[in-house]
Amino acid sequence: MGKLVLLRHGESVWNAEGLFTGWVDVDLSPTGEAEARKGGELLAAAGIRPKAVHTSVLKRAIRTANIALDAADLHWLPVERSWRLNERHYGALQGKDKAQTREEYGEEQFMVWRRSYDTPPPPIADGDPYSQHGDPRYADLPPELMPRTECLADVVDRMLPYWYDAIVPELAAGGTVLVAAHGNSLRALVKHLDGVSDEAIAGLNIPTGIPLVYELNDDFTPRKAGGEYLDPEAAKDAIEAVKNQGSK
């Protein structure tokens, strides 16, 4: 059984500005580029050599994978991309300031929108400047699958077919697989792998740019719950920072 390596993209320009991002195709910040490079160096130092790479169709994950593979001298790996690994669609909150939203709606509502399992933010209007309506990269997506908002449960539902159809067969064949994606699509995958409850998943945050490695049993359950970050000390601080976004 191969290893599974999860890599959240490095800090994006909107992470740095404290804005809800979701499906808006925001680039990495210079810090995010450095984090992606560090992520690749950590992979190389640990002797982890993926056989295949999967990313979302958003450039912050695509560029993170490119930069990490560059740092690990693994440019040649086959890469597959899917909208099913995209960040959670943040609905009408896309482009909004997190701290301002928290102030306007209160801590409880803010956290329900950010971390509750089954309450999505209000849907985004098709004419909203931050809507993905009409974006050519989703042209082949059946209209009923195109989200206008998502809760984490929706992400689990749309991510799992890709996990089973594209990633599991590669792991079953014995290859190590790198998945470069997003805070909430990776939370959905971790929830599935570790069997985290709908309540407990609210407290789980994933840091940017630090590879999280899962060794898996034959039934694809983790050998060690929660996997292992390649830089556990840096992960601790970075997890706290994600948790507190919008509060400071």
Ligand X SMILES: O=C(O)[C@@H](CO)OP(=O)(O)O
Is 22 annotated among the ligand-binding residues? yes
Is 164 annotated among the ligand-binding residues? no
Q: Running DSSP on this structure, what letter comes out for residue 215?
A: E
How far is the C-alpha of 248 from the C-alpha of 231, rounded, in Å? 25
In 46-132, where does DSSP find H-type helix?
Answer: 59-71, 98-105, 107-115
Query: Where on the chain is the footprint of ligand X (CB under 6 A)?
Result: 15, 20-22, 87, 90, 114, 183-184, 242, 245
How far is the C-alpha of 112 from the C-alpha of 116, rounded, in Å? 5
Q: Tell me how far, at minimum, the Cβ of 214 lies from ligand X, in Å.
A: 21
Q: Tell me how far, at minimum, the Cβ of 68 lies from ligand X, in Å.
A: 18
* Ordered DSSP codes for 125-157: PTTSTT--TT-GGGTTS-GGGS-SS--HHHHHH
Structure tokens at 98: 């997190």
Structure tokens at 128: 């909203």
**Based on CB atoms, which residue is closest to ligand X, 81 or 89?**
89
Is 244 annotated among the ligand-binding residues? no
Give how far Cα 152 sits from Cα of 10, 88, 133, 139, Å. Answer: 21, 7, 21, 24
**Based on CB atoms, which residue is closest to ligand X, 35 or 87?**
87
Q: Tell me how far, at minimum, the Cβ of 10 lies from ligand X, in Å.
A: 11
Residue for token pair 């899962």: 214
Residue type, 44: A
How far is the C-alpha of 134 from the C-alpha of 243, rounded, in Å? 33
Nearest to 234 by CA among 215, 211, 213, 204: 211
Catalytic residue among 9, 54, 170, 182: 9
**Based on CB atoms, which residue is closest to ligand X, 79 or 242?**
242
Is 158 annotated among the ligand-binding residues? no
Half-sphere exposure of 33 (CA within 13 A, CB side): 6
Is 114 annotated among the ligand-binding residues? yes
Is 187 annotated among the ligand-binding residues? no
Respond yes or no: is residue 9 known to be catalytic: yes
**Based on CB atoms, which residue is closest to ligand X, 15 or 149?**
15
Q: Tell me how far, at minimum, the Cβ of 64 lies from ligand X, in Å.
A: 13
**Based on CB atoms, which residue is closest to ligand X, 10 or 50?**
10
Q: Tell me how far, at minimum, the Cβ of 23 lies from ligand X, in Å.
A: 8
Catalytic residue among 35, 87, 150, 170: 87
Residues catalogued as catalytic: 9, 87
Binding site: what residues are annotated? 8-15, 21-22, 60, 87-90, 98, 114-115, 183-184
